[in-house]
Amino acid sequence: MRGRPNLYTKYSSEMGFFPTTTKKISMGLLIFIGILLPLAALPFAGFFASDSWLILINRTLIFAIAALGLNLLTGVAGQVSLGHSFFMAIGAYTAVVLGAEAGKTTWGLGLPIWIWLPAAGVVAALVGIAVAPLGVRVRGLYLAFATLGLVFIGLHLWRNLNSITGTPGIGRKWPKLELALWRGMDPIVSFTTDGPLWWWLRPINILPWVHIEEMTGEAKTYFLLAFFVIVFAIIAKNLMRTRTGRSWAAIRDRDIAAEVMGVNEYKGKTQAFAISSFYAGLAGALLGAFVGQLIPESWDILLAVEFVAIILIGGAGTVAGTLMGTFFVMLSPRVVENATHFLAVQSEEGGIFSWLGKLVIRSSPDDFIGIISLDAAGPGLSIFQFNAMLFGVLIIVFLIAEPLGLYGIWIRVRNYWKGWPFTY
């Protein structure tokens, strides 16, 4: 009802996918913007269509798939996991063994994407089922340390299984994002080369100012990954509304009480681990194929912590918060880097923001002020170190001030304006 944002008169309305007109319009606008973004058709935002930005956005979409899986496990089922990078690695190496060509010292079957991509998720899910009993025997901090151990076990395996992972420090090449009927056949759709998305789709005329003869490989990859994100976000949202999702929430809130009420704790936690691992395995396979070549050391603890930051900053237990957190965590380093270089130029050329640049940038070892050092001048932080510190600070701030993260801030703003001019 208008002015009463949290009042529902029907259960079906409360559990609806887009229960309000505002949400329906917002989703339609978001999809419209998402379609125009890689086509350089957004006013004042055409730079997002450049290859450098699309590469970063595509990587963000892959991380969004993995984060949706961790949100189901940690945010909905309440099983704190620090081993998400391990399950991503399981999926990635399943994909490379099934999809890549065999080398002199490496295994490979050269199978098409419609085999190796689902298989990556299935194998990761099977490993998740094998790990699931940990969630029944240990809880909370103990479960976090147990899953953290998987990361270190995985790192040891990836460094030594050279026939699967390739040489340490070098790695091996993943199969390309190409859809073919079988191995050795010409691809029906290639998402890595410039040209039409399909042989019949040319040119593209969406709006009067949009006329594209062909798309770049990054733009085609964007549409593929965006499709996967939409599909898996819908699946995650529907899972949360089903009996299974509600049983996970009951286990999260009070597992003993849930079991007394008839919820099968072992079955629920096993389902959560399996589905979360499937998401992670699929994302790991896509990440390997997107990057092209990854070293075995890529699947480390820093990657696992990055996903924890995404969940906490975005808002645990919500699909919208997970997506917001993913884009915030993945894009903020680029924004910080661009802003830092802008302030450095302002400081050197005496621009309007030169005073701010002198406060933030340490330009020489003799400077007594400045947080970020661009050329290792003095004791200042590098941009990478500053971003790592920023994530740590944000996690602490959100845990203390806003446990629901960015999603909680959005809820506060939405409810305030819906109830305006009343503040209660």
pLDDT in tens, 301-351: 989 988 988 998 898 889 999 999 999 999 988 888 888 888 778 777 777
Examine the domain organization and report whether 219 and 340 are in the same domain: no
Residues 55 and 171 reside in one and the same domain: yes
pLDDT band, very low/low/confident/very high, at 1 (cuts 50, 70, 90): very low
**Residue 128 is part of which domain span?**
43-297
Please indicate, yes or no, whether residues 179 and 73 belong to a single structural domain of this protein: yes
Q: pLDDT of 51-77, one tens digit each?
A: 889 999 999 999 999 999 999 999 999
Q: How far apart are CA 23 and CA 410, in angstroms?
A: 13
Is 250 domain-assigned?
yes
Structure confidence at residue 237 (pLDDT)? 92
Q: Do residues 367 and 360 lie in contact, with contact meaning Cβ atoms separated by under 8 Å?
A: no
Instruction: State the Cα–Cα distance between residues 353 and 371, nearest whole angstrom.
Output: 16
Q: Number of structural domains, the chain? A: 2
Helix (H) or strand (E) holding 150: helix 140-160
The pLDDT assigned to 259 comes to 85
pLDDT of 197 reads 59
Q: Taking 90 as the threshold, does the pLDDT of residue 166 lie above it?
A: no
- Residue 294 backbone phi and psi in degrees, to 5: -130, 140
Domain boundary among 265, 297, 329: 297
Alpha carbons within 13 angstroms on the beta-carbon side of residue 418 total 16
Picking from 239, 267, 297, the residue at the C-terminal end of a domain is 297
pTM of the model: 0.89
Each residue of 360-393: pLDDT tens digit?
777 666 666 767 776 655 566 777 777 778 878 8
User: How remote is the C-alpha of 218 from its chain's centroid?
Assistant: 18
Domain match, 48 and 109 both = yes
User: What is the mean predicted confidence (pLDDT) over 133-158?
Assistant: 87
User: 7 in a domain, yes or no?
Assistant: no
Residue 144 lies in a domain: yes
Residue 123 has pLDDT above 80, yes or no: yes
